[in-house]
A = this chain, B = another copy of it.
Amino acid sequence: MTNRPNVLWIMADQLRFDYLSCYGHPHLHTPNIDALAARGVRFTNTYVQSPVCGPSRMSAYTGRYVRSHGSTWNGMPMRVGEPTLGDHLRDAGARAVLVGKTHMVADKVGMDWLGIDPASEIGVRVAQCGFEPFDRDDGLHPNSSRQQWSAYDDYLVSLGYTSDNPWEDFANSGYDKDGKLVSGWLLENSQLEANIPEEHSETAYMTNRAMEFMEGAIDGDAPWLCHLSYIKPHWPYIVPAPYHDMYGPEHVIDPIRSESEKETDHPLLRAYQNMRVSRSFARDHVREHVIPAYMGLIKQLDDNLGRLFKWMDDKGLSDNTIIAFTSDHGDYMGDHWLGDKDFYHESAAKVPLIIADPRPEADATRGTDNAALIEMIDLAPTFMTALGCAPKPEVVEGRDLTPLLHAGDGFYRRYAISEHDYSSFEMARVLNVAQQDAFTKMIFDGRWKYIHCEGFEPILFDLETDPEEVNDHGQSDEPEHVAVRVRMKDALLAWSLRHHTRVTATRQVLDSQTKATETGILIGFWDEDEYEATAGKPFSSLVAAGPPQG
């Protein structure tokens, strides 16, 4: 063990901020996550940098906005050379280890240009978004573009769950009332018991794998960050017993929606409402059928975290491990007549974030809430600080949360940003939007949520007077709304013009430029006297090194 803490960074997938009892859910009791909040800080205004898995995660793993790392959609390879949290931590002598999902796809073209062998240690790391993969599993069909046969598939086969696709046939399918094995991808099957005992499910498996990593690292020399990245409660919505029938329609909270939303004349909002998944979740019977399974998956996750935290206590790891718990985005679940994610209402863009820091400096904040405007990219610099890595403001765009954990000053954010690329959506074709123009950007100041929709009018919500976000003021003539739109657009321009790619501009590089007169580049001097008066040294001091020796 080192004197630096370790970090366990737990990420759920597609977990809404409000489906935990500590975030106010009336029926879904999550005592283990609540207990984590009780020994840490519960952040109540955390926004992801994209309301969809891939780009949100690439932002989380780089500490950079989507517009900066450029991986704007699922399965879009992240360019080789994009600096990751893992790169920074390794520079500081710490490990960054992956257990679970990243959604990363390797940039094979870029790796080939740079002569990087995908099978080499560096090649594997580049393909895993900078992590050292202890166990990578994206929770996908084993011949999808992103996932091959996984270690979890091997695990299932080793237990006798033999199939060409054990992930799907066992962990994500169930038997219907006619005794036929049916897919958990289909919503009608959500209430079936998954065809696997809980202890062999993905959630349990990944929990075990995290323990195995930590057990092996106990005697290691390097501090570590372990990214325990669960696939659930993401699709397919199907859960093993006893969680499959733990909740019923009586536990399903009402959707956040208004009939007036269906009358919007905003083409993009209408197209979102017309998506298949939205039409599904707009139906009450779908919500009542699926949400209980979604709740079961969360309850199962909470139970596994309880098992994990207990094990960490027993191993003496809790005293020296910062634990962060969050999600990569939410899930509409029928709110606003929408399904899945991909837009910016609170149900989709806001996530839970709890950070429990065992160090004494954090004693003052234990069990408190914090309403500061947080971006998911803030975690990377926070973990860098904890693990002894110097700040890299030229690369990392998030802001260190340590002051908030330690009741100190120094954290400030005026606007949170989130971005979305819908170029691969059917609606881009329906709306006749060119591939390069199919994007939206959210900028939120804690009250006003302004959504730039390229090629369309903006959308504006006022969360103070309309916390349910059912009234769009994007085209309102109210002077206040007009003024807010001007201000938010200006703020979006200011953010957008900022340096996002000047990643090699360390303070040292910039300093070396301001001292150009010392390296013999003399611009604008009339004579030696002018040089000497400016540089404060004799002109003759400008000597050359001569030819290389030997």
Contacts and interface: CB of A to CB of B under 8 A. Distances in A.
B81 A185 contact: no
Given A144-B521, A423-B510, A546-B164, A83 B67 contact: no
Contacts of A516: 424
B185 A544 contact: no
Given A81-B110, A110-B81, A280-B526, A543 B501 contact: no
Contact of A165 (B79, B109, B500, B544): B544
A80 B114 contact: yes
B114 A502 contact: no
B107 A512 contact: no
Nearest to A495: B496
B496 A527 contact: no
Contacts of A69: 501
A157 B547 contact: yes
Interface stretch (A200-208, A241-249, A261-269, A434-442): A434-442
Interface string A98-119: 0000000001011001111000
Interface stretch (A33-41, A145-153, A308-316, A467-475): A145-153
Given A80-B81, A393-B436, A454-B497, 7 more contacts: A67-B499, A142-B546, A143-B519, A185-B522, A277-B523, A278-B524, A436-B498
Which applies to chain A's interface (DSSP): helix, strand, loop or mixed? Answer: loop
A135 to B, nearest CB: 17
A537 interface: no
Nearest to A342: B523
A78 B504 contact: yes
Nearest to A143: B545
A489 B492 CA distance: 12
Given A79-B504, A513-B75, A525 B187 contact: yes
A120 interface: yes
Copies of chain A in the complex: 2
Contacts of A277: 523-524
A520 B81 contact: no
A409 to B, nearest CB: 19
B340 A503 contact: no
A235 interface: yes
A199 interface: no
B79 A235 contact: no
Nearest to A279: B524
A1 interface: no
A364 interface: no
Contact of A504 (B70, B188, B441, B520): B70
Nearest to A424: B513
B186 A504 contact: no
A168 B149 CA distance: 63
A528 interface: yes
Nearest to A278: B524
Contacts of A141: 519-521, 542, 544
Contacts of A76: 502, 504-505, 509-510, 513
A327 to B, nearest CB: 17
